[in-house]
Structure 1
Amino acid sequence: MTTSINAIRVMTWNLWWRFGPDRRAAIQAVLDEWRPDVLALQEVWAGDGTSQAAELADALGMHAVFAAPSYPAAPPDQEFELGIAVLSRWPILYSATHVLPARHRSWDPVALTVRADHPAGPLPVVAACLEHAVVYTDDRIAQGAFVADLATDPRFDGPCPVLLAGDLNAAVDSPVLRPVRDVLVDAWTAGRGAPDAVTLPSSHPSAPLEAGPQLIDQRIDHVFFRAGRENQHVVVDAVRLAGGDPVGGVHPSDHRAVVVDLHWAG
């Protein structure tokens, strides 16, 4: 957790829904260690009168917004939804869901936009999980352009940077993310993160190897940003991966989280 008024710690993490063993304690341990100010989550469950986002927000002393459906589709015999969420250290002033272009799906996956009540002013966050099926790369490219458009909406201009965070299911140099790269800054690269960093490792015991080389052993989870004003200077202080090691013998997720510390002036 950061202390400077113009500094934040952003984290994005795919929590692997309800797949695998009971991982609640392992997930909580990772989040307790890193204590992000803003947390974008993917493959989040909701049902039985609550949600994983709400439970984590209560445990961390944060505020949460959940939206569904998202990728992948939840198994048809399950009563729990699969969605995305944003958690914020500060109260959430505004949230909206946006249906992603998805011509090949019979359901409507969504992205989420949020404004958090940061001390410097409203902090805009765009959170998403994009199409994972490489065969539907037309949808993947359309969704990349869609979230880039959300993040460059002039209504988000203001005293804080605009953040885009999520499991974008594409490597940073993929054509899927070209619309994003054209208008936003990749925080990992700006923070001099290792160019060979991986967020979906084949070494995980339950790695979805069928996803193929465009996704497996690639950095497909991202934080991008843009300045909120033309005279604003945003600096990435540090970037790290988190949640990749077992906790008490249990892997928290099949994805590694991306953690970004940044500050701004102007």
Structure 2
Amino acid sequence: MRVMVWNVWWRFGGNWREREQSISATVEAYRPDVLGLVESWSGDGTDQPHRLAGPCGMHAAWAPSSVPPIAYAEQPGIGFGVGLLSRWPIVAIESHELPNPGKGGPVPLALLATLDHPRGRLHVIVSGSEPDERYAGDRSAQCRELAAIAADERLDGALPVLLLADLNATTDQPALAPLLESMVDLWSAAGADPGAVTFDSAVPYAPDDAPHLLDRRIDHVLARPGRRGQQVPVRGAFVAGDRPCGGVYPSDHYAVGVDLEL
């Protein structure tokens, strides 16, 4: 099973149509079975996950999350949220509020989806956490809540519970400690390059006001075994979307992919 997560940078940058073509080409090239999208959009009677899923014959879901003020200024009426593409039918969706006591304002959400995998129910969480270093406490609180969602006994079963997220922190930072107490960082488990980055200063869209995030691996595929004593066998891991397609980088982030041996 190939699982990927990608922060696709909403409709930012002024060239979202060209970028979406590059995103679609990347999805078709890597053919994930499950793909979590962070900073995806909805509007004009559709949403980005369904637009990407259609050509691949996949199922899709989208859920709103908190919106940066700049988003509505750039694209009035266009939603901001998280999405999911799945090779298998999506049989249930839940939205879970994440805490943001320091920042306040609109509450960020995590999407919990249940997929009808041939070997049983597959539970997938798609989310992001607070990027602003001024609200690092919110980021830590959100990671604790994501850990609690993933640990829910309702999700126990034959298959692992997956978290696909832009967590705006590396695995050696304290914010991720609650998650790593009960979940496995599948990139590390695959023995992939420990120096890999997913938010690269070499990308033309890289911001100049986020030095705490640049040139780090801040996007993650984490998993916990569905039952105590089980393992989550990993065959390999990779980054995608790290090259221009048609002269256009698809996003300001690279995608992270993991191949699991179930």
Percent identity, please: 46
> SS at 2:72's partner residue?
coil
Rounded Cα–Cα distance in structure 1 between residues aligned with 2:45 and 2:11:
16
Specify every segment of 5 or more residues in structure 1 that has no aligned partner in the other structure, as ranges.
1-7
Cα deviation for residue 206 of structure 1 reads 1.5
- 1:33-52 equivalence runs, <5 A: 33-52=29-48
For 2:97, the equivalent position in structure 1 comes to 99
Q: Which amino acid aligns with 1:180?
A: L
Cα deviation for residue 234 of structure 1 reads 1.7
Contact preservation (8 Å) 1:74, 1:82: no
Contact preservation (8 Å) 2:168, 2:213: yes
Contact preservation (8 Å) 2:64, 2:81: yes
RMSD: 1.1
Q: Which amino acid aligns with 2:60?
A: A
Rounded Cα–Cα distance in structure 2 between residues aligned with 1:44 and 1:80:
10
Cα deviation for residue 139 of structure 1 reads 0.4
Given candidates 48, 53, 58, the residue that maps to 2:49 is: 53
For 2:5, the equivalent position in structure 1 comes to 12
Cα deviation for residue 182 of structure 1 reads 0.8
Rounded Cα–Cα distance in structure 1 between residues aligned with 2:91 and 2:164:
18
Q: Which amino acid aligns with 2:118?
A: P
Structure-1-length-normalised TM-score: 0.93
For 1:119, the equivalent position in structure 2 comes to 118
For 1:132, the equivalent position in structure 2 comes to 131
Contact preservation (8 Å) 1:186, 1:224: yes
The runs of 4+ residues in structure 1 deviating greater than 6 Å are none
Rounded Cα–Cα distance in structure 1 between residues aligned with 2:58 and 2:70:
26
Q: C-alpha deviations, 1:173-220, integer Å up to 9, x for none?
A: 1111010011100000000011111000011111012112x2110000
Q: Which amino acid aligns with 1:174?
A: Q
- 1:71-110 equivalence runs, <5 A: 72-73=68-69, 75-77=71-73, 78-103=76-101, 104-110=103-109
Q: 1:73 and 1:116, CA in 2 relative to 1: closer, same or farther beyond 3 A?
A: farther
> SS at 2:232's partner residue?
strand
Q: C-alpha deviations, 1:108-162, integer Å up to 9, x for none?
A: 1100101100000000111101111011011000001000111111100001111
For 1:250, the equivalent position in structure 2 comes to 248
For 1:3, the equivalent position in structure 2 comes to none
For 2:231, the equivalent position in structure 1 comes to 233
> SS at 2:209's partner residue?
helix
Q: Which amino acid aligns with 2:28?
A: D
Rounded Cα–Cα distance in structure 1 between residues aligned with 2:70 and 2:261:
37
For 2:206, the equivalent position in structure 1 comes to 207
Contact preservation (8 Å) 1:74, 1:81: no
Structure-2-length-normalised TM-score: 0.95
For 1:31, the equivalent position in structure 2 comes to 27
Q: Which amino acid aligns with 1:133?
A: D
